[in-house]
Structure 1
Amino acid sequence: MNPVLYATLIGAAVGALGTGIGAIAVFFIKIRGKCLSAVLMGLSAGIMLSVVLFDMLPESVGSAGWLLAVVWFAVGAAALFLINKLMPHHDVSTSKDSELIRNLKQDRLVRSGLLLAMGIAVHNLPEGLALGSGLVSASSFGFGLAVLLFVHNIPEGMGLAVPLKLGGVSYGRIFLVAVLAALPMAGGGAIGALVGNISPAVLGGSVAFGGGAMLYLTFSELLPQAAGLYKGWPTWAGLAAGIALGGVLVAFV
């Protein structure tokens, strides 16, 4: 098989299956009441914090160095800040209609999930570059990396699925969003196979950009919404559980 096509297909399979399985896992969680909703949002935020702090940050620093990593983290956060401001949204506090308030809160949850999917998509591109480069240069290394990336994508799929489910998005559309967020890995695989050896600085900067975007979304969207849904210890217990779960999954990668 053509090596570029092979890397593209492997990248698509690794990204879509890993993220898709993570999203499907959320489908089986029954949500009843604000307390459980807050716990799930806290869980999502904790998973994202683990992925960024325990995986993406060390990877970007190791590849590009502290200076470039910090710069690109800041650029990624600023980019998602601007995108978030440009996306249409409403201030819930300006309305006294309880039904409208509920709908607006759901809209914000959906927006958060979509923005998070964008951050994951950005992160998946450099992962695909590394995968494609590894597959054409050393097949055993590339296969091992594919397995690791597959496991790594599972918590990301879980994290983006939670706010979308709480926002009332159908299961089919949640799965579609998860798969679309994973597709840049296929494009990255093709580019990596074509180019061959990718500069570590380029890979590190790309990972840092995606990490900054996801970190911004965690602190500006996921955590505030979790605290707003239920102001009590279960919310923070969900956050701690998410950090622990994400840490365990990242440790296997």
Structure 2
Amino acid sequence: MDSILFATLVGAAVGALGTGLGAVIVFFIRIRGKRLSAVLMGLSAGIMLSVVLFDMLPESVESAGWPLALIWFLVGAAVLFLVNRFLPHHDVAAPEGERLVQELKQKRLVRSGLLLAVGIAVHNLPEGLALGSGLVSASGFGIGLAVLLFIHNIPEGMGLAVPLKLGGVKYSRIFLTAVLAALPMAAGALAGALVGNISPIVLGGSVAFGGGAMLCLTFSELLPQAAGLSKEWPTWAGLAAGAVGGGILVAFL
């Protein structure tokens, strides 16, 4: 029982501290003007792209194989697409005054940040399963995995914090959102510790589902909003920086 409690607490700490730290880093970035906003949105999209393509997708293929990973990846993208489609949308091009247009843009940014938090939460569940299983196993690889997951969660916290900050959300609420997105890792760690060995197919399918949802969100929300802020080089510079930086981080992990 002590080992199960320990695994659950480690899962909660790794998720909340890693994602929360990523959000806090964004708090110290001063955002002035549309160009910097476009860079940060592009950076957020680039980070998410690198995490999905260089980490989540290969991990799911290794665990579940190409056919199942691809199926669950597409299912995740389809679910996010449907959720996104049926949520209330705001027409930011409505000619009803600059102030109203700005308010609608902020609402869409907040919506994107919250959807991204949901995608991260889905992704954190299978990571928690693997962590909990590792912490109670005799191999002792759980502590090392906890450190890697902590570092891995930092860019995810940054990615979800950027649109929320640009949307005018209070720092306390951004931090709370980041922490809540990390809670499924604690639930996963508890389940992993209770069950012990988790089927690689289950883990791979879960990771693929979360990856598909996050990739769909990146292309349907983050990139279009970044391009809307600035169609010039800042958006693509941020995208490239996020993709390269995220790819380097994934490579070292």
Short-chain TM bin: over 0.9
CA drift of 1:118 comes to 0.1
Map 1:105-144; keep pairs closer than 5 Å: 105-138=105-138, 140-144=140-144
CA distance in structure 2 between the partners assigned to 1:94 and 1:170 by the alignment: 26
CA distance in structure 1 between the partners assigned to 2:252 and 2:150 by the alignment: 11
Q: TM-score, normalised by structure 2?
A: 0.98
Q: TM-score, normalised by structure 1?
A: 0.98
CA distance in structure 1 between the partners assigned to 2:81 and 2:69 by the alignment: 18
Q: Which residue of 1 aligns with 2:245?
A: 245
CA distance in structure 2 between the partners assigned to 1:58 and 1:138 by the alignment: 26
CA contact (8 A) 2:44 2:159 kept: yes
CA distance in structure 2 between the partners assigned to 1:5 and 1:95 by the alignment: 56
CA drift of 1:92 comes to 1.9
CA distance in structure 1 between the partners assigned to 2:83 and 2:10 by the alignment: 31
Map 1:182-197; keep pairs closer than 5 Å: 182-197=182-197
Q: Which residue of 1 aligns with 2:151?
A: 151
Q: Which residue of 2 aligns with 1:16?
A: 16
CA distance in structure 1 between the partners assigned to 2:39 and 2:103 by the alignment: 20
Aligned residue type for 1:231 = K
Q: How many residues align?
A: 253
Aligned residue type for 2:46 = G
CA drift of 1:139 comes to 5.8
CA drift of 1:179 comes to 0.3
- Is structure 2 residue 204 aligned with structure 1 residue 208? no
Q: Which residue of 2 aligns with 1:30?
A: 30
CA distance in structure 1 between the partners assigned to 2:179 and 2:86 by the alignment: 24
CA drift of 1:58 comes to 0.5
CA drift of 1:85 comes to 1.9
CA drift of 1:95 comes to 3.5
List, as ranges, runs of 4+ consecutive aligned residues in structure 1 with deviation greater than 3 Å: none
Q: Which residue of 1 aligns with 2:222?
A: 222
Describe the superposition over 1:23-63 as per-residue Cα deviations: whole angstroms up to 9, x where unpaired: 10000100000000000000000000000000001000000
Q: Which residue of 2 aligns with 1:56?
A: 56
CA drift of 1:94 comes to 3.1
CA contact (8 A) 2:56 2:208 kept: yes
CA distance in structure 2 between the partners assigned to 1:177 and 1:66 by the alignment: 33
Describe the superposition over 1:85-130 as per-residue Cα deviations: whole angstroms up to 9, x where unpaired: 2222221223332111100000000000000000000000000000
Aligned residue type for 2:145 = L
CA contact (8 A) 2:94 2:101 kept: no
CA distance in structure 2 between the partners assigned to 1:245 and 1:178 by the alignment: 21
Q: Which residue of 1 aligns with 2:69?
A: 69
**Percentage of pairs with the same residue:** 80
Unpaired segments ≥5 residues, structure 1: none
Q: Which residue of 2 aligns with 1:40?
A: 40
Q: Matched residue of 1:90: which SS?
A: coil
Q: Matched residue of 1:94: which SS?
A: coil
CA distance in structure 1 between the partners assigned to 2:245 and 2:123 by the alignment: 20
CA contact (8 A) 2:130 2:189 kept: yes
Describe the superposition over 1:155-201 as per-residue Cα deviations: whole angstroms up to 9, x where unpaired: 10000000000000011100000000000000000000011100000
Aligned residue type for 2:123 = H
CA drift of 1:83 comes to 1.3
CA distance in structure 1 between the partners assigned to 2:30 and 2:92 by the alignment: 26
CA distance in structure 1 between the partners assigned to 2:67 and 2:83 by the alignment: 25
